[in-house]
Structure 1
Amino acid sequence: MTTHDPIGRRQFLRLGAMASGTVLGAGFLSACGGGGGASSELVYAGYGGSYQDGIKSAMFDPFTQSTGIGVKYTADANDVTKLISLADAGRSQDDIADAQGPALAQLRASGALEKLDRNVVTHEDVVNPSLITEYSVPYYQFSHNIFWNASMMSGQLNSWADVWDVRKFPGKRGFQRLPWFTLEIALLADGVAMDSLYPLDVDRAFRSLDRIKPNAVFLDNNSLTNAVSTGELVTADLNLSRVKTIIKSGVKLEYTWNQAMVDVEQLVVLRGGARRDAAMKAVQYSLEPETQLRIIRTLGYTPTSKAALAQIPAADAKDLPGTPETVGTSFYLNASWWADNYKAVSTRFQGWLTS
Structure 2
Amino acid sequence: MKTNRSMIRTALAACGFGVVAMTGAHAADTISVVTFGGAYEAAAKKAWFEPFTAKTGDQFATESYDGGLAKLQAMEQAKNPTWDLIDLETNDAINACDEGLLEKFDKKTLGNTSDFLPGSISECAVAAMVWSTVYAYDTSKLKTAPTTIGDFFDLKKYPGKRGMRKSPKVAMEWALIADGVAPQDVYKTLATPAGVDRAFRKLDTIKPNIVWWEAGAQAPQLLADGAVVMTQAYNGRIDDAVHKDKKPFKVVWDAQVYDYEWWGVPAGAKHGDAARKFIVASTTPQAYADLSKYIAYAPPRKDAIPQIDKARLNDLPTAPANFKRPLQIDAAFWADNADAINKRFQNWLAQ
TM-score, with length taken from structure 1: 0.82
The answer to whether the aligner puts 1:322 opposite 2:318 as a matched pair is: yes
What is the 5 A alignment of 1:1-355?
Answer: 35-37=25-27, 40-75=29-64, 78=67, 80-122=69-111, 124-199=113-188, 200=190, 201-220=195-214, 221-248=216-243, 249-324=245-320, 326-355=322-351
For residue 283 of structure 1, report the CA deviation from its aligned partner. Answer: 1.4
CA contact under 8 A between 2:167 and 2:342: conserved in structure 1?
A: yes
The change in CA–CA distance for 1:176 and 1:336 in structure 2 (over 3 A counts) is same
RMSD of equivalent CA atoms: 2.5
For residue 313 of structure 1, report the CA deviation from its aligned partner. Answer: 4.3
- Alignment correspondent of 1:29: none
For residue 195 of structure 1, report the CA deviation from its aligned partner. Answer: 1.0
For residue 151 of structure 1, report the CA deviation from its aligned partner. Answer: 2.8
The change in CA–CA distance for 1:177 and 1:167 in structure 2 (over 3 A counts) is same
Give 3-state SS (helix, strand or coil) of 1:237's partner.
strand
Paired with 1:150 and 1:84, the residues of 2 have a C-alpha distance of 43
CA contact under 8 A between 2:163 and 2:230: conserved in structure 1?
A: yes
CA contact under 8 A between 1:225 and 1:242: conserved in structure 2?
A: yes
Aligned residues between the structures: 322
CA contact under 8 A between 2:85 and 2:265: conserved in structure 1?
A: yes
For residue 193 of structure 1, report the CA deviation from its aligned partner. Answer: 1.0
- Alignment correspondent of 2:19: none
Paired with 1:126 and 1:228, the residues of 2 have a C-alpha distance of 38
For residue 51 of structure 1, report the CA deviation from its aligned partner. Answer: 3.5
For residue 340 of structure 1, report the CA deviation from its aligned partner. Answer: 0.9
Q: Which moved more, 1:257-266 or 1:123-132?
A: 123-132
Q: Which moved more, 1:151-160 or 1:323-332?
A: 323-332
The change in CA–CA distance for 1:226 and 1:325 in structure 2 (over 3 A counts) is closer
1:158-193 CA deviation, whole Å, 9 max, x = no partner?
221121111122221111111211111111111111
For residue 127 of structure 1, report the CA deviation from its aligned partner. Answer: 4.1
Bigger-Rg structure (1/2): 2
Paired with 1:49 and 1:346, the residues of 2 have a C-alpha distance of 25
Paired with 1:53 and 1:313, the residues of 2 have a C-alpha distance of 20
The change in CA–CA distance for 1:148 and 1:59 in structure 2 (over 3 A counts) is same
For residue 327 of structure 1, report the CA deviation from its aligned partner. Answer: 3.5
Paired with 2:240 and 2:57, the residues of 1 have a C-alpha distance of 33
- Opposite residue 327 of structure 1, the aligned amino acid is F
Paired with 2:39 and 2:237, the residues of 1 have a C-alpha distance of 11
Q: Which moved more, 1:76-85 or 1:108-117?
A: 76-85
Paired with 1:212 and 1:353, the residues of 2 have a C-alpha distance of 12
The change in CA–CA distance for 1:109 and 1:337 in structure 2 (over 3 A counts) is farther
Paired with 2:24 and 2:119, the residues of 1 have a C-alpha distance of 39
Q: Which moved more, 1:174-183 or 1:198-207?
A: 198-207
For residue 76 of structure 1, report the CA deviation from its aligned partner. Answer: 5.3
For residue 323 of structure 1, report the CA deviation from its aligned partner. Answer: 4.2
Give 3-state SS (helix, strand or coil) of 2:176's partner.
helix
For residue 78 of structure 1, report the CA deviation from its aligned partner. Answer: 4.5
Paired with 2:104 and 2:111, the residues of 1 have a C-alpha distance of 13
Give 3-state SS (helix, strand or coil) of 1:261's partner.
strand
Paired with 1:252 and 1:298, the residues of 2 have a C-alpha distance of 19
CA contact under 8 A between 1:76 and 1:82: conserved in structure 2?
A: no
Percent identity between the aligned chains? Answer: 30
Unaligned runs of 5+ in 1: 1-32
CA contact under 8 A between 1:76 and 1:83: conserved in structure 2?
A: no
